[in-house]
Amino acid sequence: MEFQALNGQFNSMQSINEIDELIRLISKLPGLGPKSAKRIVLKLLNTRDELMKPMVNSLAEVYKNVSRCKVCGTLKSNSVGCRNCNIDDKKFNKICVVENIADQWSIENSGIYQGYFHILGGTLSFSTSQRKEDLLIPSLVKRAKKDSIEEVIIATSATVEGQTTAHYIKDSLKDIRVKVSKLAQGLPVGGEIESLDDGTLFSAFKNRSWIENNSD
């Protein structure tokens, strides 16, 4: 009821460009639409000092100090460097290839995998103009060559785009002395890694299958 009253008041007010633009931007976030964006904006306006100001400062800090690693694709602090590429206390021999950072976080949180990650930043698709270079596949090949990697685990989603990308990765690694595996077929068709529960992820990693590599 409180939101409806505020929303009615909001709609009856003269349009404010800054607020309209903020609603438009927030509505672009995953899972949000115009109504949800309005609710968020109203909450921010009603908690300017407690929420809005700290959030603005935090967003500014993230924008300034956090970027995507050009080697492995994960997020890194510009002041510290990439922890995924430079791990001092452990030397892993596996790379897990995922489509996006949300997939990396899901696998990390499950605790089922210990090793390096390589975040493609998307998938190959005939419906987009995304280039292979944009997916950091050439960078993956270089990492597999020089980092004493014994296994590359392809953990792309069970979608047409994900499987197309997996085949291209396999072909790109065919001349390298490295084992290539993919997650078990227990993944639901069309399923995305970030939406899977820990049990499904554990089974997919444990029962992953080897992909024949043509290198001698």
Residue 210 and residue 176 in contact, taking contact as beta carbons nearer than 8 Å:
no
State whether residue 57 is helix, strand or coil: helix
Whether residue 79 lies inside any domain: the answer is no
Tell me, what CATH number does 198's domain have? 3.40.1360.10
Whether residue 81 lies inside any domain: the answer is no
pLDDT of residue 203 exceeding 80, the answer is: no
Pair (112, 158) in one structural domain: yes
Whether residue 206 lies inside any domain: the answer is yes
Tell me, what CATH number does 9's domain have? 1.10.8.420
Q: Give me the domain span that covers residue 31.
A: 2-66
Pair (35, 115) in one structural domain: no
Pair (95, 45) in one structural domain: no
- CA diameter of the chain: 72
Overall domain count for the chain = 2
Edge-to-edge strand list for the sheet holding 179-182: 116-119, 94-98, 151-154, 179-182, 209-211
What pLDDT digit, counting tens, does each position of 46-78 carry? 999 999 999 999 999 999 999 999 999 999 998
Whether residue 174 lies inside any domain: the answer is yes
What are 48's two structure tokens? 């300017």
pTM as predicted? 0.78
Pair (58, 93) in one structural domain: no
Give how far Cα 166 sits from Cα of 120, 138, 147, 171, Å: 11, 14, 21, 9
Pair (62, 94) in one structural domain: no
Residue 147 and residue 162 in contact, taking contact as beta carbons nearer than 8 Å:
no
Whether residue 130 lies inside any domain: the answer is yes
- Residues of the chain above pLDDT 70, percent: 79
pLDDT of residue 167 exceeding 70, the answer is: yes
Dihedral sign of CA atoms 103, 104, 108, 113 in order = positive
Pair (201, 100) in one structural domain: yes
d(CA 91, CA 74): 18
What pLDDT digit, counting tens, does each position of 76-104 carry? 998 887 888 865 556 788 999 999 999 99
